[in-house]
Amino acid sequence: MKPDIWLIRYSEIFLKSEPVRRVWEDLLIHSLKQKLRDCSISKTRGRIWITGDVDPEAIAHTFGVYSFSPCIMFSLSDLNERVLTYVNDTGFSAYKTFALRINRSGNHPFTSQDLAQSLGALIQKSWPSVAVDLTNPEYELHIEVRDEQCYLYQQIISGPGGIPQGASGTLVALHSGGIDSPVAMFMMMKRGAILHPVYVKIAPFHDDRSEERAHLIVEHLKKYQPDLTLEVIDDGHVYATRIELKNRDLEKYACVLCKRHLYRIAEEKARAVGAKGIVTGESLAQVASQTLDNLYVLDDAVSLPVYRPLIGFDKEETIAVAKKIGTYDLSVMQVPSCCCAIPFKPATTSQRETISTLEEELAKGSPAK
C-alpha cells in the first residue's frame, strides 16, 4: 500500500527548551531537505511530515530521526470507514490477536481510550474471531489523530537517533582510513557535529591505495553528511623527523612527534574552516602512542580541544560499530600503512618537557644532548 505521507519522530529534541527545540527541529528539517529535495516537509509539535517521492534510506541515515513510518492520511470524519478498509487490505483476518495504539492531539469530544474502545469494537464486529491483546498482539495498528486529520500505519522503522547535524558546530577529523577514525567521525556526526575530514599523505610511507581507501570511506559516510569532503594534505616533515631521530638514537619518540605534528596540521585547518576542535580515533592504551602519558603530551601540541569518542572502547567494540555502519570492509582493505615507520620500542611514557625540548632542537638542527 503506497503511503500518502511519512511521519518522522525524534527523541532528544524533546529534552530541550522551547527555543532550542525549535532550532533543532529546523536543523533536522534542513538535513532532510538536503537529501529529499523533491519532497515537501512540514512540522507540527513533536512531528515532522514528508510528502512526495520519499527515499526511506535517506531518512534512515539522517541524524536526529528516532523512527519513521509510512502513513495513510485522511480526515477524522472518515476514520471508521478507513480503518475497516485498511485492516481488510492488510490481511487482518489471518491474525488471532490485535491491538490499536492511539496518539491524539487537539480538542476532541473523546479521549484516546474512548477511541481505541470504539474502533476495537467496530473491528471485532466484522472479525469476531480476532481477539484484543494489548501486550503481545500479532497485528498492531497505530492511529494518529491530529485535530481533524488522521494517519494510519503499522510499520515503525528505526532511525539513527542522535541530534541534528549542525547543532554542535564543525570539527576537523584526522582520517587515516583505518577502522577507528571512520567510527570516531560517525559518532561525532551523531552528536550533531559537521565533519571536515583531513587525510595526511606521509611521504614516503604513503601509497595511493591508502588515499583511495580514505576517499571510499568518506564517500560511504556521505549518506549521513551529504557535503562531506575529504581534504588531502601532502607532508614530508614526519619522514625528515624520523631520519633525524634515528641519527640521534631517539627513534622511540617517533610516534609521539608524528602525532603532535598531525595535530598541528589539523589545528591549522580547524582555524581556517572555523572548527571548534579536532576528532581522532584514539582509544586509551590501544597502542603505544595512546597511553595516558602520551595522550597528555599529544594534547599539549595544540590549543584546540581534541575529541576522542572511542577513548573507552576496546577494539572489538569499535569493530562492531564499524560493521554496523558499513565502514569495516573498506577499512580492512589491504593497503600499505605507516607501520613501517613505527620504531621497534616506541616510548609509552613521554614527558611534555622532554618532547618540547626535542622539537625545539630538531627545529634548530642542534645536536642531541
Binding residues for ATP: 174-175, 259, 281, 290
Q: What residues contact residue 97 under an 8 Å CB cut-off, 6+ apart?
A: 130, 131, 132, 133, 136, 137, 138, 139
Which residues are paired to 174 by β-bridges?
Answer: 198
Q: How far apart are CA 49 and CA 42, in angstroms?
A: 5
- The 10 Å Cβ neighbour count of residue 329 is 11
| DSSP 3-state of 118 | helix
Q: Is the dihedral of CA 282, 260, 205, 228 positive or negative?
A: positive
**Burial class of residue 242 in the structure, from the number of CB atoms within 10 Å of its CB (0-12 exposed, 13-18 middle, 19+ buried):** buried
Cell of 225: 553528511
| DSSP 3-state of 50 | strand
Residues making up the annotated binding site are 174-175, 259, 281, 290
Q: What angle do CA 90, 94, 98 make, to 5 degrees?
A: 75
What is the distance, to the nearest Å, from the Cα of residue 340 to the centroid of all Cα atoms in its chain?
32
10-14: list long-range contacts, CB under 8 Å, 24+ apart: 10/48, 10/64, 10/65, 10/66, 11/66, 11/161, 12/64, 12/66, 12/161, 12/162, 12/163, 13/64, 13/163, 13/164, 14/46
| DSSP 3-state of 30 | helix
Which residues are paired to 104 by β-bridges?
Answer: 145
